[in-house]
């Protein structure tokens, strides 16, 4: 129930349980018993005892619906919706009743259904209730049996408190009746033809009765009145229906034939019509007409043409109206006479002359919201472009119409109050569809994204309704012609557009949550296309799109694409990225770097970004594109699972090797906590309860490459998968691996581990400390057994030279101690020349303690441990002469 309601709602103590129309049909205990029982009321109570018990909710809707259907099948549906309470409603001025409507304690669903029905049919609530049957109300969208009872009982409660016992109006809250109310209390209310106290014959027939007495008596007799009833006693008897329409028609035509057909239809009441406003007259007469009569009048004359017709019409003219019979004839003329009294002197007693002057209504503050471009207000404005134009051009004849337009527009605005953005867009589409709305609104709404999902295609809408796509296109094109071309009244849409300024860029879920938090939507999700299409129905455009699950404006999506691309590149290159690293990458080569906050905001809403802590993340990537994943998988391809420490050490070795390239100078291994979080979040890895890491899918050692596979094969052939360095180099030499390659990979290969001084093995292998010690002792013994003979000297010409046995360490490293010719060679680089053929053999470098660069020469001659290398330096010419052989070289070289 609305907070502003002044009258109780259906179901509260003291309110009727059954509306009047139902009480009158449920007089039979057998009929009303199931209904009361379904409402939780003692079924033994009589139909009149409907005020004694409050309604017990929730109602058993199955029983309740079945009981009401039983009454509908027994004629309730054809009954006037208000029943006898309609007689009280007729006493209330429609304008006064409209003012009371907001105070009725209807439930929200009832109120919404009534507002929609009145707007779609361009009528007031008063008129809707006066002309509708129970079945017609139940046919309204959104009205079921529960809301029907809520509607009718709510109106009855108002009538019981507003309409006094003598028919005068005493509005709730008034302390003293105003002057107009005091006079109205002594004035008999107008009556429709056939009601107690209403005229039996219109004035023109009564006045003609003196000329055609016998024909008039026959007409009265056809109406069920005694033949002796004089025509002047036209108020004494109500019309007794049903009557014999054929007999009544024949009597009327006899009277017409006597000459009354050429008389003015309004008789002596015709002159009073001259002073009336058409709209005022139309509002006064409509409540007094039967539905059939009212429909003919609307079809023939519209809202204002009836008065103009009656000013000049004769009896023959009225009888010649299409679909007009004798009942409609009498109904119209009697109602017109009653309406003349009401419309001409609404605040004066009968018989007084003069009319109340009309005043120009105040210009409402919302007048700019009412334009003809808005299909919801277009029928109210006629040819005017806006309500403001109506005020500018209004003259005395237009004041009544202007007042009604303002009231109707205010009613529509009140109806729209509190709508969500999708409801506002739907209200515009409904008005644009007009009479086709009931069939097409839901389906075509999906075409405009009103369900929040992407707009459907013509084919999809057509399949839903079982029609062709061309038919859907035709309906949409027709509706499109009535849609606004400029922004119309839609405050929820305006608020939603303002909300975008701080919400974008964001995901669809976040946008929907923000709209819902602001009370602007009730849908579970909005896509960019749906939001754009729905907003477009209200004459607005919005810059919003979608890219990779991110919603934003065009410039935001372009910036987001840059941020996403940079984040993916950094993440793939390093394995793990951070907001700071992405910001630095974006700042390269530009004078307009992307702000750190913008980068973080974009990444936070990107579904492809996986955060592992407050600042670090990794991004989705194709197989083989993330360096950290690739390195970890190569380690685990050899032995799995492995400890986090072993994995981190292997990653550090590999990254150090890569960082030697200037392109990857900033490459660094992650911190232990980051690496653990990375493995826990990445689908390629599975942390075990003991802290070790394994792969989710088996990995083949082919990922290591040919050289590392050879190293792994050598080490796997050892009892503990570990060897001393010299033994490893010797084994690799036997299988044809280059010595320099073995040296590099023993230093940097991620799958190898240094278990102790001079001991290497497979990472993840279990190598006990005693095994390491044993391997180290074996290596020392091997070194002790090596012949380390060396001779150094200077030739007579002053050239330094050396001759020495080749040891295993020298063979694999190409490095010897710089213990000869220091005075002449220190910190120099000399070209190496092969004495055998005089060809260059690399360069020899001399530092403080080491002399290296012999690998090219040794490899060329396939040198072996125990061979003798002799070197003769020529410092003056920057040359060193090299030769290899046996013991014959252990002497001074030829000084050439």
Torsion of CA 304, 310, 313, 316, to 10 degrees: 100
**DSSP conformational letter for 610:** E
Most confident of 35-44, 157-166, 642-651: 642-651
59 pLDDT above the threshold of 80: no
Domain spanning 790-889: CATH 2.40.330.10: yes
C-alpha span between 122 and 102 (Å, rounded): 18
Contact 501, 448 (CB under 8 A): no
Residue 871 β-bridge partners: 802, 882
Strands of 829-834's sheet, edge to edge?
790-794, 800-805, 868-874, 879-885, 829-834, 840-846, 850-852, 815-817
Contact 74, 124 (CB under 8 A): no
Backbone dihedral region of 574: left (phi > 0), alpha (psi from -120 to 50 degrees) or beta? Answer: alpha
Domains 554-619 and 705-785 share a fold: yes
Contact 882, 895 (CB under 8 A): no
pTM of the model: 0.47
The SS3 of residue 701 is helix
Contact 488, 427 (CB under 8 A): no
The CA-atom distances, in angstroms, between 725 and each of 757, 819, 845 are: 9, 24, 24
pLDDT-wise least confident of 624-628, 732-736, 828-832 = 732-736
C-alpha span between 863 and 872 (Å, rounded): 18
Contact 576, 628 (CB under 8 A): yes
**Predicted pLDDT of residue 356:** 38
**Predicted pLDDT of residue 166:** 33
Q: For the stretch 883-894, what's the b/e string if a residue is b when 16 or more beta carbons lie within 10 angstroms of its beta carbon? A: bbeeeebeeebe
The distance in angstroms from the start CA to the end CA of the chain is 119
pLDDT-wise least confident of 6-15, 641-650, 732-741, 768-777 = 6-15
**DSSP conformational letter for 830:** E
CA 537 to chain centre: 15
Handedness of CA 40, 44, 47, 48 (dihedral sign): negative
Strands (E), 235-330: none
Average pLDDT over residues 356-378: 79
pLDDT-wise least confident of 101-110, 270-279, 464-473, 831-840 = 270-279
Domain spanning 554-619: CATH 1.10.10: yes
Q: Give residue limits of the domains in the chain.
A: 20-184, 203-344, 367-416, 419-544, 554-619, 705-785, 790-889
Domain spanning 705-785: CATH 1.10.10.10: yes
C-alpha span between 425 and 461 (Å, rounded): 18
C-alpha span between 374 and 382 (Å, rounded): 12
**Predicted pLDDT of residue 177:** 36
DSSP string for 618-662 = EE---TT--HHHHHHHHHHHHSSSB-HHHHHHHHHHHHHHHTTSG
DSSP string for 520-543 = ---SS---HHHHHHHHHTTT----
Mapping DSSP onto H, E and C, the string for 376-398 reads CCHHHHCCCCEHHHHHHHCCHHH
pLDDT-wise least confident of 3-17, 547-561, 753-767 = 3-17
Q: Whose CA is closest to 497, among 522, 515, 509, 485?
A: 515
170 pLDDT above the threshold of 70: no
Average pLDDT over residues 707-728: 88
pLDDT-wise least confident of 7-16, 439-448, 733-742 = 7-16
Average pLDDT over residues 166-191: 37
Kindly report, residue by residue over 603-630, the tens digit of the pLDDT. 887 888 999 999 999 999 998 899 999 9
pLDDT-wise least confident of 28-32, 439-443, 471-475 = 28-32
Most confident of 110-114, 330-334, 675-679: 675-679
Q: Which residue has the higher pLDDT, 8 or 471?
A: 471
**Predicted pLDDT of residue 581:** 93
pLDDT-wise least confident of 31-45, 49-63, 446-460, 588-602 = 49-63
Neighbours of 215 (CB within 10 A): 22
Q: For residue 616, what is the enclosing H or E element?
A: strand 616-619
């Amino acid at each position: 129930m609305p907070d502003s309601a002044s009258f109780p709602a259906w179901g509260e103590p003291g309110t009727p349980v059954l509306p009047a129309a139902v009480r009158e049909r449920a007089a039979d205990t057998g009929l009303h018993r199931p209904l009361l029982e379904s409402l939780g009321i003692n079924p033994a109570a009589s139909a009149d005892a409907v005020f004694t018990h409050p309604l017990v909710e929730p109602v058993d809707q199955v029983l309740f619906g079945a009981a009401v259907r039983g009454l509908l099948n027994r004629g309730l549906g054809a009954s006037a919706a208000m029943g006898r309470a309609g007689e009280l409603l007729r006493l209330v001025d429609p304008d006064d009743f409209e003012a009371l409507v907001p105070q009725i304690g209807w439930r929200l669903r009832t109120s919404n259904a009534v507002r929609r029905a009145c707007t779609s049919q361009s009528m007031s609530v008063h008129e809707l209730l006066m002309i509708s049957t129970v079945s017609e109300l139940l046919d309204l969208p959104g009205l079921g049996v529960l809301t029907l009872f809520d509607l009718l009982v709510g109106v009855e409660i108002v009538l019981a408190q507003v309409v006094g016992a003598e028919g005068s109006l005493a509005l709730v809250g008034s302390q003293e009746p105003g002057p107009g109310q005091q006079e109205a209390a002594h004035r008999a209310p107008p009556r429709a033809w056939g009601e107690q106290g209403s005229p039996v014959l219109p004035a023109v027939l009564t006045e003609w009765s003196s000329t055609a007495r016998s024909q008039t008596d026959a007409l009265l007799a056809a109406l069920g009145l005694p033949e002796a009833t004089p025509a002047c006693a036209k108020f004494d008897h109500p019309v007794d229906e049903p009557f014999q329409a054929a007999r009544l028609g024949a009597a009327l035509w006899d009277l017409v034939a006597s000459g009354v057909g050429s008389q003015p239809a309004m008789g002596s009441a015709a002159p009073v019509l001259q002073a009336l406003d058409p709209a005022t007259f139309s509002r006064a007469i409509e409540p007094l007409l039967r539905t059939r009569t009212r429909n003919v009048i609307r079809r023939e004359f519209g809202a204002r043409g009836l008065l103009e017709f009656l000013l000049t019409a004769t009896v023959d003219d009225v009888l010649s109206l299409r679909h007009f019979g004798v009942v409609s004839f009498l109904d119209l003329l009697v109602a017109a006479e009653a309406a003349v009294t009401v419309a001409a002197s609404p605040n004066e007693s009968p018989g007084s002359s003069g009319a109340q002057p009309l005043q120009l209504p105040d210009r409402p503050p919302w007048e700019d919201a009412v334009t003809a471009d808005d299909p919801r207000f277009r029928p109210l404005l006629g040819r005017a472009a806006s309500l403001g134009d109506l005020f500018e051009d209004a003259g005395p004849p237009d004041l009544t119409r202007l007042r009604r337009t303002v009231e109707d527009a205010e009613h529509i605005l009140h109806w729209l109050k509190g709508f969500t953005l999708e409801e506002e867009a739907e209200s515009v589409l409904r008005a644009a569809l007009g009479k086709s709305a009931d069939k097409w609104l839901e389906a075509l709404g999906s075409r405009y994204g009103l369900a929040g999902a992407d707009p459907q295609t013509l084919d999809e809408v057509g399949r839903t309704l079982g029609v062709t796509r061309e038919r859907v296109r035709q309906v949409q094109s027709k509706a499109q012609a009535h849609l606004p071309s400029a922004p119309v009244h839609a405050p929820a849409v305006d608020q939603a557009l303002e909300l975008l300024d701080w919400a974008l860029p964001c995901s669809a879920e976040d946008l929907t949550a923000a709209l819902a938090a602001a009370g602007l939507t009730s849908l579970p999700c909005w896509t960019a296309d749906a939001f754009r299409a729905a907003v477009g129905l209200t004459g607005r455009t919005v810059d919003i799109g979608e890219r990779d699950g991110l919603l934003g404006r065009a410039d935001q999506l372009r910036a987001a694409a840059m941020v996403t691309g940079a984040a993916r590149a950094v993440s793939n290159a390093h394995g793990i990225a951070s907001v700071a690293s992405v910001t630095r990458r974006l700042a390269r080569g530009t004078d307009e770097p992307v702000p750190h906050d913008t980068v973080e905001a974009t990444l936070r809403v990107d579904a492809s970004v996986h955060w592992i802590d407050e600042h670090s993340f990794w991004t989705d990537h194709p197989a083989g594109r993330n360096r950290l994943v690739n390195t970890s998988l190569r380690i685990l391809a050899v032995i799995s699972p492995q400890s986090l420490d072993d994995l981190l050490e292997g990653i550090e070795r590999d990254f150090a090797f890569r960082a030697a390239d200037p392109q990857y100078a900033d490459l660094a291994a992650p911190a232990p906590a980051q690496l653990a979080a990375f493995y826990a979040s990445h689908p390629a890895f599975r942390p075990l309860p003991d802290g070790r890491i394994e792969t989710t899918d088996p990995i083949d050692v082919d990922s290591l490459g040919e050289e590392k596979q050879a190293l792994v094969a050598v080490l796997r052939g050892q009892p503990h998968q570990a060897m001393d360095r010299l033994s490893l180099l010797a084994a690799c030499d036997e299988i044809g691996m280059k010595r320099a390659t073995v040296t590099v990979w023993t230093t940097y290969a991620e799958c190898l581990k240094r278990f102790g001084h001079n001991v290497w093995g497979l990472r993840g292998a279990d190598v006990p400390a005693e095994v390491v010690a044993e391997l180290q002792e074996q290596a020392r013994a091997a070194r002790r057994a090596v012949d380390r003979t060396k001779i150094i000297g200077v030739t007579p010409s002053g050239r330094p030279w050396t001759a020495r046995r080749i040891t295993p360490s020298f063979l694999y490293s190409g490095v010897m101690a710089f213990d000869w010719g220091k005075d002449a060679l220190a910190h120099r680089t000399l070209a190496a020349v092969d004495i055998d053929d005089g060809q260059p053999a690399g360069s020899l470098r001399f530092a403080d303690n080491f002399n290296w660069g012999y690998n090219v020469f040794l490899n060329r001659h396939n040198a072996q441990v125990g061979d003798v290398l002799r070197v003769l330096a020529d410092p003056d010419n920057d040359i060193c002469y090299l030769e290899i052989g046996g013991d014959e070289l252990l002497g001074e070289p030829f000084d050439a």
